[in-house]
Amino acid sequence: MADFLSLLPLAKQAVDLLTKKGYKVACAESCTGGLIAAALTSISGSSAVFDFGAVTYSNDMKTKLLGVDPVILQQYGAVSETTARAMAEGVRRYSSAQFALSVTGIAGPLSDGTNKSVGLIYIGLASAFHDTKVLCLQNHFTENVRENNRYSAVKAALQLLIDQISETGER
């Protein structure tokens, strides 16, 4: 079973890289319920690199707080690549951070009532270095254990962030 402590090595690596390169991160989370923000802010020194986090669980808050177009949510659903991209763009737009993460998915064990499977999770990453393109990963975590899917999503999001920070130069 996954636990919170298993997130901290990746969170530390992300905070260390952000600090070294002089960047900030913000995040918009749905199915992870703030675990990315919690992991990052558990690391000493994170206040210099973590701008803010928003847990936008409902579609209404995705629209009101992040500016996700309601048409996107109607057409593609909350659990979609298009929504993850819009969430990442939204959090980046309201932030001074160079990187913005988003996560939306079905942690389970119950379905969301659509034909999408439990464990389907999208992770978006918008950055100041890819203004026209938001990276998006589609993950299919196969466990029917909610917490394992959530922790797996956080690990994948932190790894995506680490990879993208590593590819950029210093300011």
Whether the model clears a pTM of 0.85, i.e. scores above it, the answer is yes
Strand order across the beta sheet in which 120-127 lies = 50-55, 25-29, 99-105, 120-127, 135-140
Residue type for position 100: A
Give residue 131's pLDDT. 61
pLDDT at 170 over 70: no
User: What distance in Å separates the CA atoms of residue 147 and residue 42, rounded to the nearest whole number?
Assistant: 19
4-167: CATH number: 3.90.950.20
Are the beta carbons of 151 and 7 closer than 8 angstroms?
A: yes
What's the mean pLDDT when you consider all of the chain?
A: 92
Pairwise pLDDT comparison (104 vs 110), residue with the higher score: 104
Q: What is the pLDDT of residues 63-82, one digit of tens each?
A: 999 999 999 999 999 999 99
Tokens read off for 126: 């918008």
Pairwise pLDDT comparison (143 vs 101), residue with the higher score: 101
DSSP annotation of 108 reads S
Give residue 112's pLDDT. 77
Residue type for position 95: S
Bridge partners (DSSP) of residue 108 are: none
- CA nearest 138: which of 124, 148, 117, 151? 124
Alpha helices in the chain (DSSP H): 8-21, 35-41, 59-66, 70-76, 81-93, 146-167
Give residue 57's pLDDT. 94
- CA nearest 2: which of 124, 133, 107, 118? 107
